[in-house]
Amino acid sequence: MSHTVKSGNLGYPRIGGQREWKKAIEAYWAGKLEEQQLHEQLTQIRLNNLQQQRDQGLEIIPVGDFTYYDHVLDMAVMFGLVPERFTYNGGEVPLDTYYAIARGNKEATASEMTKWYNTNYHYIVPELGARKPQLTVNRPLVAYREAKEKLGIEGRPVLIGLYSFLKLSKGFNEATEWDHWVSQLLPLYIQILKELIAEGTAWVQFDEPSLVTSVTNEDIARVKAIYEKIHREAPEISILLQTYFEAIDRYEDVVSLPVAGIGLDFIHGGDGNLAALRKFSFPRGKTLGAGVVDGRNIWRTDLYRQAELLQEILTLAPDADIVVQPSCSLLHVPVSAKQEQELDTVLHEALSFAEEKLDEIVALSKAVNQGIESVKSAFENNRIALDNLAKDPARNRANVSAAVQKISAEPAVRDSEFVVRRKKQKEKWHLPVLPTTTIGSFPQTAEVRSARQKWRKGEWSQEKYDSFIKEHIQKWISLQEEIGIDVLVHGEFERTDMVEFFGEKLPGFAFTKGGWVQSYGTRCVKPPVIYGDVDFDQPMTVKETEYAQSLTNKPVKGMLTGPITILNWSFVRSDLSREQVAYQIALALRKEVEALEQAGIEMIQVDEPALREGLPLKREDWNGYLDWSVKAFRITTSTVRDTTQIHTHMCYCEFHDIIDSIRALDADVISIETSRSHGELVHSFEEHTYDLGIGLGVYDIHSPRVPSVEEMTSMIDRALQVLDPELFWINPDCGLKTRGVEETVQSLKNMVLAASKYRAKESAVSTN
């Protein structure tokens, strides 16, 4: 049995070790860099990324995965698919137009942004529209030439495959216009390949992650038609058709496509891909890209275990060339763990960011080619690091595991049903019809941010910082009372990120110094690391909320981030199921909810904006995830008294898809971010009854403009055509942290006026 085993990569983080990429682009936006300077700086980052991969011994290096904002947007502008509302007359798309599509400008709104499959990265959605596509510039060819000419690297160009590109796009009717758009775009893909062939390119990577979603017979026929046409027109080039994030259900169909190689994810959906490989083997003479290193999480790979997996893959695909690679592009992980020296040694040694993952890939390929003895020290160091992490007391809290085991076997339900609770809460609170509230945060001004920095750096004492926070709470409680809001919030001035705040206070979490990843555009986030058993240490929000409540006779909501959002926006330990970790977080938050209630806070909001984000890619897997997600929320909230009102908040997310699960949360009131999709959501209530308390955001907090009373009244009228006024709340569609003070106050005044106008109208009707 003879094999050629190589080491390869699928994509590298764009942002640079110190976020140089972000800083350069934002300097250009601010007018501090000329366009040529931006090109020079980003070129240097791009070449450094390629050099880094070569220096680490990687044999197959991707090119064309670098971007100035987003790789899906790059594909759209490469084809001249600029939305009609932007000024564009053909040819290569100017940089300012490129950024306008992503961010909007004075004349036109930005294109929609949405999640890249089930990751925390967000892409710009291509708008196909009326423009006839053209090849404005062959970006893969440019990237291939640059790597070869400047570094002597024979790179492998990366493109999004046509099937996935169309699945990711909007502005066309898939049922009736699919063939039209294939006929428009497929010749451009073939042109790209022919120009690459002329340049001497041997391989190209077509990313087709949509093949791991629920794929129909019609979809498979479409995919076959695309790749058969490509093979006929450009047979000289070898295509690696790369899938990731899940197993492919249509394994036999996909591996039989006329391409030279297939990339499979053996981490996420690995069981499914391995089962298919065991059942159907792998075609003779093709290359198998074996994704055996996790491209989405930050833990060391178990090298011994993955070496065994590779041996099984070699046995199951005896006539294939094998490439050892990550499960997906490494854009989802930070650049390097070298700067995390301040972390506990056991934790630091167990981390693997992009650079470390490349070392693991090279070590695994050497182990297969030359035997494990050739990389013995790397494998042994790896084993020691993983053993130390497994034995760490933080991962072995007996009280936590016992509590999770107990709650897993029990239902998590309130003492009474909503109709009973509603009556008791109505008697307790005496709120008007259409009560007004906000979602939680108020403007975090430069003064607030500066104070937090001074406190973190030790320039301010705890007492001085606490006094500052109290002043702001007092100011905004007074403002809310003056405006006439019915249910108040303390403003969250002590908080930065809604997950980080809680993670810093819960045992089991850690925070990196440089663990930045790209969320969207130049927005980078530093997710918390859930490395140990999550436990409750002491109250986290009671002090500020209790103080706010002492200033007013109106109810003040306690504000928490829910267990599923904390889970989905963190790097999560891989030795437990996500369900088990969610229950750990939920039990810790339950103690916080109980502490708030004991302190006299009897309206408590547990936000779950990321609930839908965690949905599996295959619909048949949705119910399992939703069942334990709902249970985690209910673990957090189910022990309070009937008179304690539980609120939650979500972002608009194709609500109708999961309305049954949202109802099953059994929150007394849910507020939903809907101002940009208000009509769509209201329409979903025409088809689905919702009989719990609900607030549809009546104005868009993402815009600095102040909405008029009439605009908000119109939104209220539309919603009340399908929702019960007795259950309806009036609120902005999200938190107000990023808004200015004056616009916030005026917008809230208009919101209260809109509610008052409705109440006056209803009062007049009832009097008559």
Binding residues for 5-methyltetrahydropteroyltri-L-glutamate: 19-22, 115, 120, 523-524, 569, 613
What is the rounded CA–CA span in Å between residue 193 and residue 127?
24
Those residues whose C-beta lies under 8 Å from the C-beta of residue 339, and which sit 6 or more positions away, are 17, 513, 514
3-state secondary structure of 290: strand
Chain centroid to CA 617: how far? Answer: 13
Amino acid identity at 447: E
According to DSSP, the β-strands at 558-561 and 571-572 are unpaired
What is the rounded CA–CA span in Å between residue 91 and residue 95?
12
Chain centroid to CA 221: how far? Answer: 31
Cα-Cα-Cα-Cα torsion 343, 349, 354, 357, nearest 10 degrees, comes to -170
Beta strand extents in 139-286 (DSSP E only)? 156-160, 203-207, 238-242, 261-265
| Residue ranges at the known binding site for L-homocysteine | 439-441, 492, 607
Active site (annotated) includes residue 268 = no
DSSP codes joined into one string, 316-356: HSTTSEEEEEESS-GGGS-S-STT-TTS-HHHHHTB--HHH
DSSP codes joined into one string, 505-570: TSTTEE--SS--EEEETTEEE---EE-S-----S-SSHHHHHHHHHT-SS-B-EEEE-HHHHHHTS
| Residue ranges at the known binding site | 19-22, 115, 120, 439-441, 492, 523-524, 569, 607, 613, 649, 651, 673, 734
| Residue ranges at the known binding site for L-methionine | 439-441, 492, 607
Catalytic residue of the set 3, 647, 678, 702: 702
Q: Which residues pair with 645 in a beta bridge?
A: 603
What is the token pair recorded at 384? 């020691």
What is the token pair recorded at 346? 């056991």
- The dihedral region occupied by 269, where left means phi > 0, alpha psi between -120 and 50, and beta the remainder, is left
What is the token pair recorded at 82? 């600029």
- 614 near 118, Cβ under 8 Å? yes
What is the rounded CA–CA span in Å between residue 220 and residue 199?
32
Q: Which backbone phi and psi does 254 adopt, to 5 degrees?
A: -70, -45
Where b means 16+ CB within 10 Å and e means fewer, 548-564 reads bbebeeebbbbbbbbbb
Q: Known catalytic residues?
A: 702
